[in-house]
Chain A
Amino acid sequence: MPANTFNGYTDYGIGIGLRVPHYQHILTRKPVVDWFEIISENFMIDGGRPLRILDEILDQYKVVQHGVSMYFGSAQRADREHLRRLKTLVQRTKTPWLSDHLCWGSVDGRYTHDLLPMPYTFEAARLTAQKIREVRDFLEIPIAVENVSSYAEFHVSEMTEWEFLNEVVERADCGILLDVNNIYVSSQNHSFDPFAYVNSVPAARVAQIHIAGHSKYRKYILDTHDHPVIDPVWKLYARAIERTGHTATLLEWDDSIPAFDEVHDEALKANKFLSSASLATAV
């Protein structure tokens, strides 16, 4: 939703992920971009060039932090060093909200560096929500959790993925980063109706939307972020925007990254749908 409690009452437009191959273009040409999303872990360091670049970006652009290793769904407690470094970065960027994934990826101190799928059980929802609350209380900023692409489902699951998402965000009272590409990828991999997912998400909790491309294989789809957004994903995006209104939107492009303008142009295609949403709201 535009400007809600879960995105710090901001009303951001269309952003793109800040990626190394674009640094020079951004810093020298200073293109007009609504906002950049950074991967928190890339800047949770003590010094050096990455932080200098970040500071230059922060001087000129709005920045939102997106994490890949908080692992809200890991059964064990969050790593204190991770939280401490994350808070230092939050204070530096003044990100109005912070997102990470509804997944797990570490156990017994070992990290897979992957976004592993959750078993959709009430126990998992309770533990995940508890961790989200702990992280939010420590960081003192709104949290939005992102649905991930998945390639496996568990026997123990007691509900659908969207029911699980709703259960977690209600228990944690947090926001949602709705990734419509991930919904599409998972719907193909697990044979469900992606519109049923989008229609069931509590619209008032959507802080941000992700769009991206993916790779299709013979028996499954992989979330590779290395292609333009395909039409079925734009249709899901349109439906999501219809429900949520004008919402901060971000294009992810992480591999085989083309020139800055190509990435930005792809992201700006979202304008077509956002304009319709604005018109609908005005009417």
Chain B
Amino acid sequence: MNLLGIQRQMARAVMTPLTPSERMRSVAPGGRCLRAVATKIIKPNDRLTSFERLEIYNRQYWFRVLSGFAEDFPGLRAVLGTRVFDKVAQAYLRDCPSRSFTMRNIGSQLQAWLNKHPAFAKSKQKLALDMVRLEWAEINAFDGKRDTPLTPEDLAQADPAKLRLRLQPYLTLLDLRYPVDDLLLEVRKNSAEVSVASNAFSERHKTKRVTAVARMKPSPIFLAVHRLGEEVYFRRLEREEFAILSLLRGGKSLNAAIEFGLRKSATPLDARPLLVQKWFQTWSTLGWFCPWTKSSAKS
């Protein structure tokens, strides 16, 4: 067998899900006999069989990817509960193994996957999807690209009928059905407190608190997930703010974005100019705008 053949056989075995007791399966879900694969490619030694030696890698693989996944999605765990979360993690990683050199991207397909598999989250599907979108946006905000921002002065000098703006790559705009930002902050607070206090009562109490927030009712919000300095922030937006920013990201000119963005607004006409001016002042102070380029149009 050549190198590629060995690597394909071994990778397939290593990425096969473990048994419920976290051991390697003798037979993979598709019917492939892993014991035979191990015997064919791996030498036994005086202490371990071929199967046991291959099993070390099989277990290491799953422990590593599951722990990386859990680290990236603590909010989803709070929403689903540990038992369902673990099932989701295993099924997702089985269907969508990492296709990137970095573990950072391990959850990149989760939203799409969860959309196709509503049976896991059941009644919490929409809440779970909101949380996944937020947690992925947070990863992007943490280490996403920051381009040189335009200043408020740059904006003041431009012709608003022609001006098009690009938003920072690290900035994600989210329209959410649930206030999952509150829940995620609660989860983080909870885990930080648990890490300093090992008192069992205190842990149970805080877990209950998170569970209560996870049972929240729909209450749509608009959110910008962004970075200031090196810290990630969630900034609640008005519906109109969200619309204008989304239209700008979509390539509309400044004038067009404002016009379309405010079309359904309940804000009185005479109050709008001041409001829009305030929003733009804030966004540009936060450094969200970058110069429009030809590549922005393509993307």
Interfacial residues, chain A to chain B (CB-CB below 8 A):
41, 44-52, 69, 73-76, 79, 81-82, 104, 106-114, 116, 119, 121, 123-124, 127, 151-156, 189-191, 219-220, 222
A69 → chain B, closest Cβ, in Å?
4
Q: Are B142 and A74 in contact (CB under 8 A)?
A: no
Q: Are A220 and B48 in contact (CB under 8 A)?
A: yes
Question: Is B201 interfacial (CB 8 A cutoff)?
Answer: no
A46-B169, A48-B142, A153-B42 known; A110-B3 Cβ under 8 A: no
A63 → chain B, closest Cβ, in Å?
19
Task: Give the distance in Å from the alpha carbon of A124 to the alpha carbon of B3 in the complex.
Answer: 6
A47-B145, A116-B10 known; A152-B42 Cβ under 8 A: yes
Q: Are B43 and A154 in contact (CB under 8 A)?
A: yes
Q: Are A75 and B7 in contact (CB under 8 A)?
A: yes
Task: Give the distance in Å from the alpha carbon of A219 to the alpha carbon of B55 in the complex.
Answer: 13
- Segment from B59-67, B158-166, B290-298 that makes contact with A: B59-67
Task: Give the distance in Å from the alpha carbon of A50 to the alpha carbon of B230 in the complex.
Answer: 9
Apart from the given pairs A47-B144, A155-B41, A220-B47, 12 other A-B contacts in the complex at a CB distance below 8 Å: A75-B2, A75-B4, A104-B7, A113-B98, A116-B10, A123-B2, A151-B56, A152-B43, A153-B42, A153-B45, A155-B42, A191-B46
A75-B7, A112-B15 known; A219-B144 Cβ under 8 A: no
Q: Please classify how large the interface on chain B is, using the bins under 10, 10 to 19, 20 to 34, 35 or more.
A: 35 or more
A215 → chain B, closest Cβ, in Å?
12
What are 17 A-B pairs at a CB distance below 8 A?
A45-B143, A46-B143, A47-B143, A47-B144, A47-B146, A47-B170, A75-B2, A75-B4, A104-B7, A112-B11, A112-B61, A114-B57, A114-B64, A116-B57, A153-B45, A156-B6, A190-B45
Q: Are A111 and B1 in contact (CB under 8 A)?
A: no
**A49, A52, A124, A222 pick with most chain B CB within 10 angstroms:** A49
A108-B8, A124-B3 known; A116-B97 Cβ under 8 A: no
Which residues of chain A are within 8 angstroms of B142 by Cβ–Cβ distance? 48-49
Partner of A74, one of B1, B7, B53, B60: B7
Q: Are B56 and A123 in contact (CB under 8 A)?
A: no
> Which residue from chain A places its CB closest to the CB of B68 in the assembled complex?
A113
A49-B230, A104-B7 known; A111-B54 Cβ under 8 A: no
Question: Is B116 interfacial (CB 8 A cutoff)?
Answer: no
A46-B145, A48-B170 known; A152-B54 Cβ under 8 A: yes
Which residues of chain A are within 8 angstroms of B99 by Cβ–Cβ distance? 109-111
> Which residue from chain A places its CB closest to the CB of B7 in the assembled complex?
A107
**A45, A51, A111 pick with most chain B CB within 10 angstroms:** A111
> Which residue from chain B places its CB closest to the CB of A125 in the assembled complex?
B3
Q: Are B104 and A45 in contact (CB under 8 A)?
A: yes
